[in-house]
Chain A
């Protein structure tokens, strides 16, 4: 199967038909749920990016064009599995039913922010939804995913971990640590490289070097490696299912390279026109994953342009209503003051020196 590291697993062709050995066994309901999840993610991103531009929060990161990867992967997972995500897998939460309002509360750092204003917008955390707390330090989560999976094996449990990393961050030493540990201990983990072609301004080749593909890096570690079209919901679902099942049944780790394209800027602080050709994103390599799945459903005779339009309107309304509710709890600079006790939770029990510093800060309240 070494050739799978150099090829590209695809199910949906340019004719919108599904073909080949990787066709997943998904019901119509599951396909429509997948389409809905992706559209919800895109609309959520759209509104939050606009909110950032309106000054309602400090920072935002979209996953435009990468929606299929997180949404289909989450759909292939079990409830008790755990993700160690990067900052561009908001689809893992949305596809698992995490409330949009709660996500927005985090983005706004408002009084209902579950992370109490401590984290940068989009750095979500939810054990309940199998989503490890996001770090801004790249690649650290990749080896942590392996450790989580090792613990599952040590305890004799069948849960599986998924580690996530971007193409650029595979250059970090923690990528190497994760590969060594996953290989040595045969941990039940799926290691995902999301190759969206760009690490802020540098192209993926800078981290890939002379390796033919990112997936090929798995072979040197003796880890089965797959390379799949990340903009093809069906291909993502079947590839993910294969790797998750392999881990769950005790056969060890899999490395997957998801080939995709970062269709928007790296973040709200970035402007790609400074470093990449404008025509590139207009061409949208591998295509719009939402459009591809919708066209496939239409091709099957199970969907129509009218239904697609209706769904779009319905999701717009849903996300808009969520935003109204979230903003009723405040935004970064406006609305009720959140509980922002920064001294809580540094340790389980607050040590004396932190109690003292908290008293100092509270004593300075009159300065405001």
Chain B
């Protein structure tokens, strides 16, 4: 089986979806002729024509607003917002429109729309190319929010998202585009070609939305993570010798709370890890669910390891990024209770 980078896997998902369904159209800033600043849509315009894959003006509300109109006329758009940090002009279209149209029209109109956006830091992107705004989407009724962490999942989850009849926010951890980054920024880069999770089958397959996966079974503490933080958590477990059970959520909403609760009931401890700012972050939701459903199994407080409540800094990026050392320290704390 071919090993792909996450970029190649995402590109491959587009080819499969557009081949299978004429109603799938792809557009965004620099997406058509150039193939996207991260090259995720490279080759689509040449293969499918400029009426199915095209460049959009620099107008995120225009991109999402036009895509919503297209869904009302039978298309199934998959659009790219160049960086998640740029999505704010489109937020009204996403929250007030895409998310609510099915409900407010009692199914008269629906919005089968996928909005892809690169997310997260670790690339010296500064505060405008590093944000993780997932909680701004999970807070909205009517949206689904997906964060893949491997090339295999990226393709299978993107195909599920495009085929889904509801709007899906598809957040691509850009630091994982070219390799399974574990937070050790001072070590040589590991490419996806050296990792078995980069094995991507040809053709069509899906990874279902709403299903988490245990990346590392363990007994001492449950670590909940998604995107880049999956690899950080795995590194922290490896290096500390703590027998952590690392769960990769894959879809934040709908959330696979059954798998999470089952794991915490087994380990009795829970650490939540994300790169986004802490206050009102998705980790707060996870902690609330775990204590509501597994309180009497808990042997220690649920703890969070997150980005700080500051803008994402440029030069001090690695002070902000919750790397393996911070995860390890909190896991140790939790085990000592």
The answer to whether A144 and B65 touch across the interface, beta carbons within 8 angstroms, is yes
The answer to whether A353 and B102 touch across the interface, beta carbons within 8 angstroms, is no
The answer to whether A353 and B66 touch across the interface, beta carbons within 8 angstroms, is no
How far, in angstroms, from A116 to B69 measured CA to CA in the complex? 23
Inter-chain contacts of B61 with A (CB < 8 A)? 143, 173-174, 177
Shortest distance between the CB of B68 and any CB in chain A (Å): 5
The answer to whether A347 and B142 touch across the interface, beta carbons within 8 angstroms, is yes
Q: A184 at the A/B interface (Cβ < 8 Å)?
A: yes
Chain B 118-154 interface mask (CB, 8 Å, partner A; 1/0): 0000000000000000000000011010000000000
Q: B72 at the A/B interface (Cβ < 8 Å)?
A: yes
The answer to whether B109 and A180 touch across the interface, beta carbons within 8 angstroms, is no
Contact among A132, A154, A347 for B72, CB-based, below 8 A:
A132
Q: B210 at the A/B interface (Cβ < 8 Å)?
A: yes
Interface residues of B in 20-68 (CB under 8 A from A): 25, 51-52, 56-57, 59, 61-62, 65-68
A114: nearest chain-B partner, CB-CB? B106
Chain A 103-114 interface mask (CB, 8 Å, partner B; 1/0): 000000000001
Q: A283 at the A/B interface (Cβ < 8 Å)?
A: no
A127, A133, A178, A351: residue with the most chain B Cβ atoms closer than 10 Å: A133
The answer to whether A180 and B104 touch across the interface, beta carbons within 8 angstroms, is no
B108, B253, B255: residue with the most chain A Cβ atoms closer than 10 Å: B108
Q: B254 at the A/B interface (Cβ < 8 Å)?
A: yes
Inter-chain contacts of A148 with B (CB < 8 A)? 69-70, 72-73
B67: nearest chain-A partner, CB-CB? A147
The answer to whether A346 and B142 touch across the interface, beta carbons within 8 angstroms, is yes
Chain B 91-109 interface mask (CB, 8 Å, partner A; 1/0): 0110011000111111111
**Which of A92-100, A118-126, A223-231, A326-334 lines the interface with chain B?**
A118-126
Chain A 174-185 interface mask (CB, 8 Å, partner B; 1/0): 101110110010
Shortest distance between the CB of B51 and any CB in chain A (Å): 5
Contact among B25, B65, B101 for A133, CB-based, below 8 A:
B101
Q: Known contacts A115-B105, A125-B108: does B75 contact A144 (CB below 8 Å)? A: no
Inter-chain contacts of B106 with A (CB < 8 A)? 114-116, 118, 125, 345
How far, in angstroms, from A348 to B89 measured CA to CA in the complex? 27
Q: Known contacts A140-B96, A174-B61, A177-B65: does B73 contact A151 (CB below 8 Å)? A: yes
A115: nearest chain-B partner, CB-CB? B106
Q: Known contacts A140-B93, A177-B62, A181-B57: does B73 contact A346 (CB below 8 Å)? A: no
The answer to whether A150 and B66 touch across the interface, beta carbons within 8 angstroms, is yes
Inter-chain contacts of B75 with A (CB < 8 A)? 151, 154-155
The answer to whether A180 and B51 touch across the interface, beta carbons within 8 angstroms, is no
How far, in angstroms, from A4 to B50 measured CA to CA in the complex? 34
Inter-chain contacts of A181 with B (CB < 8 A)? 56-57, 59, 62, 66
The answer to whether B110 and A348 touch across the interface, beta carbons within 8 angstroms, is yes
Inter-chain contacts of B70 with A (CB < 8 A)? 147-148, 150-151, 154
The answer to whether B97 and A144 touch across the interface, beta carbons within 8 angstroms, is yes
Q: Known contacts A148-B69, A180-B57: does B93 contact A154 (CB below 8 Å)? A: no
A137: nearest chain-B partner, CB-CB? B96
Inter-chain contacts of A180 with B (CB < 8 A)? 57, 59, 62
Q: A161 at the A/B interface (Cβ < 8 Å)?
A: yes
Q: How large is the interface on A (under 10, 10 to 19, 20 to 34, 35 or more residues)?
A: 35 or more
Chain A 19-58 interface mask (CB, 8 Å, partner B; 1/0): 0000000000000000000000000000000000000000
Q: B166 at the A/B interface (Cβ < 8 Å)?
A: yes
Contact among A123, A147, A159, A184 for B57, CB-based, below 8 A:
A184
Inter-chain contacts of A140 with B (CB < 8 A)? 65, 92-93, 96-97
Inter-chain contacts of A84 with B (CB < 8 A)? 69
Q: A64 at the A/B interface (Cβ < 8 Å)?
A: no
B107: nearest chain-A partner, CB-CB? A345
The answer to whether A346 and B96 touch across the interface, beta carbons within 8 angstroms, is no
B67, B70, B253, B255: residue with the most chain A Cβ atoms closer than 10 Å: B70
Inter-chain contacts of B105 with A (CB < 8 A)? 115, 125, 133
How far, in angstroms, from A346 to B99 measured CA to CA in the complex? 8
Q: A146 at the A/B interface (Cβ < 8 Å)?
A: yes
Q: A82 at the A/B interface (Cβ < 8 Å)?
A: yes
Q: A264 at the A/B interface (Cβ < 8 Å)?
A: no
Q: A322 at the A/B interface (Cβ < 8 Å)?
A: no
Q: Known contacts A82-B72, A137-B92, A154-B51: does B103 contact A118 (CB below 8 Å)? A: yes
The answer to whether B69 and A352 touch across the interface, beta carbons within 8 angstroms, is no
Q: A152 at the A/B interface (Cβ < 8 Å)?
A: yes
How far, in angstroms, from A116 to B144 measured CA to CA in the complex? 24
Inter-chain contacts of B166 with A (CB < 8 A)? 347-348
A189: nearest chain-B partner, CB-CB? B69
Interface residues of B in 68-82 (CB under 8 A from A): 68-70, 72-75
A180: nearest chain-B partner, CB-CB? B57
A133: nearest chain-B partner, CB-CB? B105
B165: nearest chain-A partner, CB-CB? A348
The answer to whether B109 and A127 touch across the interface, beta carbons within 8 angstroms, is yes
Further 8 A-B residue pairs, CB within 8 A, beyond A127-B108, A137-B97, A174-B93: A82-B73, A115-B106, A133-B105, A133-B109, A143-B69, A144-B97, A147-B65, A147-B70
Please list the 7 inter-chain residue pairs (A to B) with the smallest Cβ-Cβ separation, ordered nearest first: A147-B69, A147-B66, A143-B65, A177-B62, A144-B69, A151-B73, A351-B254
Interface residues of B (CB under 8 A from A): 25, 51-52, 56-57, 59, 61-62, 65-70, 72-75, 89, 92-93, 96-97, 101-110, 141-142, 144, 164-166, 210, 253-255, 257-258
Interface residues of A (CB under 8 A from B): 82, 84, 114-116, 118-119, 123, 125-127, 132-133, 135, 137, 140, 142-155, 159, 161, 173-174, 176-178, 180-181, 184, 345-348, 351-353
Provide a sorted-by-A list of 11 A–B residue pairs whose CB atoms are within 8 angstroms: A125-B104, A137-B97, A140-B96, A143-B62, A146-B65, A151-B75, A155-B74, A174-B61, A180-B57, A347-B166, A352-B258
